[in-house]
Structure 1
Amino acid sequence: MIIAVLVAVLLPLGLYSYHSTLKETRELLDGRLAQSARTLDVLIQNGGVASIRKQGQGPLIVPIIGRKAEEELMHGRTYESEVGYQLLDRHGQIQLTTANLARLPLPHTLISGFENYFFEGYGWRVFTLTDEANGVVIRMGERDDSRRDITHALSVDLGLTQLIGLPLLAVLVGWAVGRGLRPLERLTQALASRAPGSRQPIQLDQAPQELQPVVQALNSQLERLEDALERERRFSADVAHELRTPLASTMIHLDTAMSGEVQPGTKTALISAQSGLSRLARRIEQLLALARIEAGAAAGQRREVDLVVLAMNVIDELAPLLGESGTDFAFLEHEQSLPVHGYEAALAALLRNLIENAMHHVPPGHGMVQLALERYGDKAVIEVIDNGPGIPAERRASVFARFHREASSSGDGYGLGLSIVQRAAQLHDATIELLDASSGRGLRVRVTLPLFASAKAASPLSASE
Structure 2
Amino acid sequence: MRRRILHATAVAVVCAVLLFAVPLAVAVLRLYRQDEIGDLERIASRTALAAPTFVPDFNPRALPRVGPGTQLAVYDTAARRVTGSGPDVGDAPVRAALKGSVQSGQTGGRLVVAVPVGSAEKVRGTVRVSRTATWLSQRAVLTWLGMGGLAVVAIGAAALVSLRSSRRLAQPLEALAATARRLESGDLTARAVPYGLPEADEVGTALNRAAERLDRLLQRERAFSADASHQLRTALARTRLELESELATCLPLDPRAAMRAALESLDRMTTTIDDLLALARDVPERAPLDVAALVAETRRRWRGGLEAAGRSLQVVAEEDLPAAVGSQQAARQVLDVLLANAATHGRGAVTVRARDANGVLAIDVEDQGPGLPQDQDVFARRPAGEGHGIGLTLARSLVEAEGGRLFVSRRAPHPCFTWLIAATTGPEAPRSSPDRTPKA
TM over 0.5: no
Q: Give the shorter-chain TM-score range.
A: 0.3 to 0.5
**TM-score of the superposition, structure 1-length normalised?**
0.41
Compare CA radii of gyration and give the structure with the larger one: 2
